[in-house]
Amino acid sequence: VREQRFADERPRRRALRNSGWIVLWRAPVGVTVVFIARVVLAWFDEPVALGIVGGIFLLWFAIALTWVHADGGRGRHAFRRAYSATFGWGGGF
C-alpha cells in the first residue's frame, strides 16, 4: 500500500517541482559568502585552498545540474534549480 501511494504521488511532486516556483532569495547570500571566502583566500595568497573551494562549488553545481536534467528540467528552469540547490543554504544566516 505504501509503495502504491508513493508511486501515485511521484507525478504530482514532479509537476510541482517543475512548475517554476523556485525560492531564489536565499541563493545570493550563499554566492556572496562563497565570493567573500574566495577573496579572503586570494588576499592571503592561498591558491590551493582557493582552487579547492572553487572546485567544490563547481562540482556541486555540476552534480545538481545533472540531477535536475535527469529529473526532466531543461533550459533556464534547470539552471535556476541547480543554482538554488548549490547556493540556497545561504538563507540560514
pTM for the model stands at 0.69
Region 48-77: what's the mean pLDDT? 90
Confidence at residue 14, expressed as pLDDT on a 0 to 100 scale: 73
Rg of the chain taking only CA atoms, in angstroms = 17
Q: Give the DSSP letter string of 10-78.
A: HHHHHHHHTTS----SSHHHHHHHHHHHHHHHHHTT-HHHHHHHHHHHHHHHHHHHHHHHHTT--HHHH
The pLDDT tens digits of the residues spanning 24-54 come to: 677 888 889 999 999 999 999 999 999 999 9
